[in-house]
Protein backbone atom coordinates (compact mmCIF):
# COMPACT_ATOMS: atom_id res chain seq x y z
CA UNK A 1 0.00 0.00 0.00
CA UNK A 2 1.13 3.55 -0.73
CA UNK A 3 0.60 5.17 2.65
CA UNK A 4 0.21 8.68 1.24
CA UNK A 5 -2.58 7.61 -1.10
CA UNK A 6 -4.18 4.82 0.91
CA UNK A 7 -4.06 2.43 -2.03
CA UNK A 8 -2.71 -1.06 -2.59
CA UNK A 9 -2.18 -3.19 -5.68
CA UNK A 10 -3.68 -6.69 -5.66
CA UNK A 11 -2.53 -9.66 -7.73
CA UNK A 12 -4.21 -8.24 -10.84
CA UNK A 13 -2.12 -5.07 -10.58
CA UNK A 14 -5.12 -2.76 -10.11
CA UNK A 15 -5.09 -0.11 -7.40
CA UNK A 16 -7.75 -0.36 -4.70
CA UNK A 17 -8.71 1.36 -1.47
CA UNK A 18 -6.55 0.11 1.40
CA UNK A 19 -9.42 -1.20 3.54
CA UNK A 20 -10.31 -4.13 1.26
CA UNK A 21 -6.87 -5.77 1.32
CA UNK A 22 -7.78 -8.39 3.94
CA UNK A 23 -9.36 -11.02 1.69
CA UNK A 24 -10.59 -11.77 -1.86
CA UNK A 25 -14.20 -11.57 -0.61
CA UNK A 26 -13.54 -8.09 0.74
CA UNK A 27 -11.98 -7.03 -2.57
CA UNK A 28 -14.99 -8.37 -4.47
CA UNK A 29 -17.31 -6.37 -2.21
CA UNK A 30 -15.19 -3.26 -2.82
CA UNK A 31 -15.08 -3.80 -6.58
CA UNK A 32 -18.71 -4.67 -7.24
CA UNK A 33 -20.87 -3.20 -4.46
CA UNK A 34 -19.36 -0.50 -2.26
CA UNK A 35 -20.10 2.96 -3.59
CA UNK A 36 -22.33 1.84 -6.46
CA UNK A 37 -25.77 3.54 -6.35
CA UNK A 38 -28.59 1.32 -5.11
CA UNK A 39 -32.30 1.87 -5.57
CA UNK A 40 -33.56 -1.51 -4.42
CA UNK A 41 -35.47 -1.36 -1.13
CA UNK A 42 -34.42 -4.79 0.03
CA UNK A 43 -30.73 -4.03 -0.37
CA UNK A 44 -31.10 -0.64 1.27
CA UNK A 45 -32.91 -2.12 4.25
CA UNK A 46 -30.37 -4.92 4.52
CA UNK A 47 -27.45 -2.49 4.60
CA UNK A 48 -29.04 -0.23 7.20
CA UNK A 49 -29.64 -3.26 9.39
CA UNK A 50 -26.17 -4.72 8.89
CA UNK A 51 -24.52 -1.40 9.62
CA UNK A 52 -26.39 -1.43 12.92
CA UNK A 53 -25.16 -4.95 13.65
CA UNK A 54 -21.62 -3.86 12.79
CA UNK A 55 -21.46 -1.38 15.69
CA UNK A 56 -18.40 -2.42 17.74
CA UNK A 57 -17.30 -4.95 15.10
CA UNK A 58 -15.51 -4.90 11.76
CA UNK A 59 -17.44 -4.83 8.50
CA UNK A 60 -15.50 -7.89 7.37
CA UNK A 61 -17.02 -9.84 10.28
CA UNK A 62 -20.50 -8.84 9.11
CA UNK A 63 -19.70 -9.50 5.46
CA UNK A 64 -18.60 -13.04 6.29
CA UNK A 65 -21.92 -13.58 8.08
CA UNK A 66 -24.11 -11.86 5.48
CA UNK A 67 -25.65 -14.99 3.99
CA UNK A 68 -26.55 -16.22 7.47
CA UNK A 69 -28.14 -12.84 8.21
CA UNK A 70 -30.14 -13.02 4.98
CA UNK A 71 -31.41 -16.47 5.87
CA UNK A 72 -32.25 -15.46 9.44
CA UNK A 73 -34.09 -12.28 8.44
CA UNK A 74 -36.17 -13.54 5.50
CA UNK A 75 -33.87 -12.05 2.90
CA UNK A 76 -34.42 -8.65 4.52
CA UNK A 77 -37.92 -8.46 3.10
CA UNK A 78 -39.19 -5.68 5.36
CA UNK A 79 -42.82 -6.78 5.14
CA UNK A 80 -41.90 -10.26 6.38
CA UNK A 81 -39.49 -9.09 9.07
CA UNK A 82 -42.13 -6.66 10.34
CA UNK A 83 -44.24 -9.70 11.26
CA UNK A 84 -41.54 -11.23 13.48
CA UNK A 85 -42.49 -11.66 17.12
CA UNK A 86 -41.10 -12.92 20.42
CA UNK A 87 -40.55 -16.46 19.12
CA UNK A 88 -38.48 -15.13 16.26
CA UNK A 89 -36.35 -13.10 18.66
CA UNK A 90 -35.69 -16.27 20.66
CA UNK A 91 -34.86 -18.15 17.46
CA UNK A 92 -32.46 -15.47 16.33
CA UNK A 93 -30.73 -15.31 19.71
CA UNK A 94 -29.94 -19.00 19.24
CA UNK A 95 -28.58 -18.58 15.69
CA UNK A 96 -24.77 -18.84 15.86
CA UNK A 97 -24.47 -17.68 12.26
CA UNK A 98 -25.39 -14.09 13.08
CA UNK A 99 -24.48 -11.54 15.76
CA UNK A 100 -26.65 -12.57 18.71
CA UNK A 101 -27.39 -9.20 20.25
CA UNK A 102 -30.95 -8.80 21.53
CA UNK A 103 -31.03 -5.05 21.10
CA UNK A 104 -29.86 -5.20 17.49
CA UNK A 105 -32.24 -8.05 16.65
CA UNK A 106 -35.21 -6.21 18.12
CA UNK A 107 -34.06 -3.04 16.37
CA UNK A 108 -34.11 -4.82 12.99
CA UNK A 109 -37.70 -5.94 13.54
CA UNK A 110 -38.71 -2.46 14.69
CA UNK A 111 -36.98 -0.82 11.74
CA UNK A 112 -38.75 -3.16 9.31
CA UNK A 113 -42.03 -1.78 10.58
CA UNK A 114 -40.70 1.73 10.14
CA UNK A 115 -39.82 0.88 6.50
CA UNK A 116 -43.47 0.11 5.86
CA UNK A 117 -44.42 3.52 7.25
CA UNK A 118 -41.86 5.23 5.01
CA UNK A 119 -43.28 3.45 1.98
CA UNK A 120 -46.71 4.78 2.82
CA UNK A 121 -45.33 8.32 2.84
CA UNK A 122 -42.64 8.29 0.13
CA UNK A 123 -43.48 5.26 -2.01
CA UNK A 124 -40.26 3.41 -1.22
CA UNK A 125 -37.31 3.38 1.14
CA UNK A 126 -35.17 4.33 -1.86
CA UNK A 127 -37.21 7.47 -2.55
CA UNK A 128 -36.75 8.48 1.07
CA UNK A 129 -33.02 7.71 1.32
CA UNK A 130 -32.00 9.43 -1.92
CA UNK A 131 -33.49 12.71 -0.70
CA UNK A 132 -30.35 12.93 1.43
CA UNK A 133 -27.86 12.59 -1.43
CA UNK A 134 -25.28 15.36 -0.90
CA UNK A 135 -24.74 18.04 -3.48
CA UNK A 136 -21.32 18.35 -5.06
CA UNK A 137 -20.60 21.53 -3.11
CA UNK A 138 -20.73 19.60 0.17
CA UNK A 139 -18.16 16.99 -0.92
CA UNK A 140 -14.34 17.13 -0.74
CA UNK A 141 -12.83 18.31 -4.02
CA UNK A 142 -10.48 15.31 -3.99
CA UNK A 143 -11.11 12.07 -2.13
CA UNK A 144 -7.68 11.62 -0.61
CA UNK A 145 -6.91 9.46 2.39
CA UNK A 146 -6.74 12.58 4.57
CA UNK A 147 -10.17 13.69 3.33
CA UNK A 148 -11.66 10.24 3.90
CA UNK A 149 -10.43 10.15 7.50
CA UNK A 150 -12.43 13.30 8.21
CA UNK A 151 -15.67 11.77 6.95
CA UNK A 152 -17.00 9.70 9.83
CA UNK A 153 -20.28 11.53 9.35
CA UNK A 154 -21.66 14.48 7.40
CA UNK A 155 -24.39 17.10 7.52
CA UNK A 156 -26.54 14.81 5.39
CA UNK A 157 -25.96 11.67 7.45
CA UNK A 158 -26.67 13.64 10.63
CA UNK A 159 -29.90 14.97 9.15
CA UNK A 160 -30.98 11.51 8.00
CA UNK A 161 -30.10 10.02 11.38
CA UNK A 162 -32.15 12.62 13.23
CA UNK A 163 -35.10 12.14 10.91
CA UNK A 164 -35.01 8.35 11.18
CA UNK A 165 -34.85 8.53 14.97
CA UNK A 166 -37.80 10.92 14.98
CA UNK A 167 -39.68 8.30 12.96
CA UNK A 168 -38.91 5.62 15.54
CA UNK A 169 -35.84 3.92 14.03
CA UNK A 170 -32.99 2.71 16.23
CA UNK A 171 -29.28 1.94 15.73
CA UNK A 172 -29.13 4.66 13.09
CA UNK A 173 -26.60 7.17 14.45
CA UNK A 174 -24.84 9.62 12.09
CA UNK A 175 -21.77 7.38 11.71
CA UNK A 176 -23.89 4.32 10.93
CA UNK A 177 -25.93 6.29 8.41
CA UNK A 178 -22.79 7.68 6.76
CA UNK A 179 -21.40 4.16 6.35
CA UNK A 180 -24.73 3.24 4.75
CA UNK A 181 -24.46 6.22 2.39
CA UNK A 182 -20.92 5.19 1.42
CA UNK A 183 -21.91 1.60 0.74
CA UNK A 184 -25.11 2.37 -1.17
CA UNK A 185 -23.58 5.00 -3.44
CA UNK A 186 -25.20 8.14 -2.07
CA UNK A 187 -21.58 9.24 -1.85
CA UNK A 188 -18.56 7.95 -3.74
CA UNK A 189 -15.73 7.61 -1.23
CA UNK A 190 -13.42 5.45 -3.33
CA UNK A 191 -10.04 7.14 -3.14
CA UNK A 192 -8.44 9.04 -5.99
CA UNK A 193 -6.43 6.47 -7.92
CA UNK A 194 -8.68 3.52 -7.01
CA UNK A 195 -9.74 1.89 -10.26
CA UNK A 196 -13.34 1.52 -9.02
CA UNK A 197 -13.88 5.22 -8.35
CA UNK A 198 -14.64 6.07 -11.98
CA UNK A 199 -16.85 2.99 -12.39
CA UNK A 200 -18.95 3.98 -9.39
CA UNK A 201 -19.16 7.57 -10.61
CA UNK A 202 -20.52 6.48 -13.99
CA UNK A 203 -23.08 4.05 -12.58
CA UNK A 204 -26.68 5.27 -12.92
CA UNK A 205 -28.28 6.72 -9.80
CA UNK A 206 -31.91 6.35 -8.78
CA UNK A 207 -34.10 9.35 -9.42
CA UNK A 208 -33.53 11.66 -6.45
CA UNK A 209 -36.14 13.91 -4.96
CA UNK A 210 -35.29 17.44 -3.83
CA UNK A 211 -32.37 17.30 -1.44
CA UNK A 212 -33.26 17.97 2.18
CA UNK A 213 -29.88 19.26 3.34
CA UNK A 214 -27.56 21.99 2.17
CA UNK A 215 -24.10 22.27 3.66
CA UNK A 216 -21.09 24.51 3.16
CA UNK A 217 -18.55 23.63 0.51
CA UNK A 218 -15.68 21.52 1.81
CA UNK A 219 -12.11 21.69 0.66
Beta-carbon contacts of 131 under 8 Å, excluding residues fewer than 6 positions away, are: 122, 208, 209, 210, 211, 212
* Residue 128 annotated as catalytic: no
Whole-angstrom distance, CA of residue 48 vs CA of residue 45: 5
Question: Of the residues 5, 19, 33, 59, which is catalytic?
Answer: 59
Of the residues 34, 46, 51, 128, only one is catalytic, namely 51
> Is residue 120 annotated as part of the catalytic site, yes or no?
no
**Catalytic residue status for 29:** yes
Catalytic residue, chosen from 29, 33, 106, 192, is: 29
Q: Which positions are annotated as active-site residues?
A: 29, 51, 59
Amino acid sequence: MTAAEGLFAAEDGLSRCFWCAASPAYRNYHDSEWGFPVGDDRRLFEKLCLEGFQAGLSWLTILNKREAFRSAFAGFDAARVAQFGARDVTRLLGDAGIVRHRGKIESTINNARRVLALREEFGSLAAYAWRFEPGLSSRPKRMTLAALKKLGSSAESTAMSKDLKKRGWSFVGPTTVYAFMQAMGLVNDHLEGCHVRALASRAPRPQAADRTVSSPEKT
